[in-house]
Amino acid sequence: MIHEILPVGMLACNCSIFGDEQSREALVVDPGDDIAGILEVLARHALTVKAIVITHAHIDHIGGAQELKRATGAPVYMNGNDAELQKMLDVQAEWLGMEPVKKVEIDAEAKDGDRLVVGSTDFHVLYTPGHTQGSISLWIPAEGKLVAGDTLFRDSIGRTDLPGGDGRQILRSIHDKLLPLADETVVIPGHGQTTTIGREKRFNYFLQGM
């Protein structure tokens, strides 16, 4: 499967573009910004976007979703527990000193246990609240990959001091939903370098004693 990771926007949110070589269908995760760059990658691989998935409603992850939706006609999936945050995009822009972004219309809910299919590849929705109440991760078993949003980072975990954050809940999510995955699973965090589940089990300070 084609997979490109594009750091977008001033906070360098990792936008993932997955594409099926046969059907030329694509799934885009967290188009926070730089929609022109994302469209360029899609065009280069002759891909048609089937779904846009938002790991959580922070502006750096969701900011460009409406523009990508308009350009591609693809539906936007998000967990409903982030609906409040999603309505506060103007406030979030103010916090960060950013230009306001377009309101994002959500087309479908991404709930725990849901599966999105791209070509012949399954993307499993894991509900992993804690960074926000509607945070999700995407597990792609056939690829041995996990798109973790801002739940798990290389050597760190997502911050929980913003509205909707919960420090105990994020640790429970990581323990219950992410650590059971195979050690070789490649983790694509919402920001920064990729890692693996096994590496984080061993070296991530926040996960010691789990």
Residues binding Zn ion (CB under 5 A): 58, 150
End-to-end C-alpha distance for the chain, whole angstroms: 33
Nearest approach, Cβ of 96 to Zn ion (angstroms)? Answer: 11
Nearer to Zn ion, 58 or 177 (CB): 58
Report the residue number, 58 or 69, with the smaller CB distance to Zn ion.
58
User: Rounded to an integer, what distance in angstroms lies between the CA atom of residue 62 and that of residue 53?
Assistant: 9
Cβ proximity to Zn ion: between 90 and 184 the closer is 90
Query: Whole-number minimum distance, CB 58 to Zn ion, in Å?
Result: 3
Contacts of 161 (CB under 8 A, 6+ apart): none
Q: Which is nearer to Zn ion, 34 or 150 (CB)?
A: 150
Report, in Å, the least distance between residue 141 CB and Zn ion: 25
**By beta-carbon distance, which residue lies closest to Zn ion?**
58
- Which of 19/130 has CB closer to Zn ion? 130
Closer residue to Zn ion, CB minimum distance, 100 or 163: 163
Q: How far is the CB of 46 from Zn ion (least distance, A)?
A: 32
Go through 133-166 and write b for each residue having 16 or more CB atoms within 10 A of its CB, e for each that does not. Answer: bbbbbbbbeeeebbbbbbbbbbebbbebeeebbe
- The nearest distance, CB 205 to Zn ion, in angstroms, is 20
CB atoms within 10 A of CB 19: 26
DSSP code of residue 205? G
Tell me how crowded residue 81 is: count the other CB atoms within 10 A of its CB.
19
> Smallest distance, Å, CB 150 to Zn ion?
4
> In Å, what is the CA distance from 156 to each residue of 162, 171, 174, 176, 201?
16, 11, 12, 17, 11
Measured between alpha carbons, how far is 146 from 65 in angstroms, rounded to an integer? 21
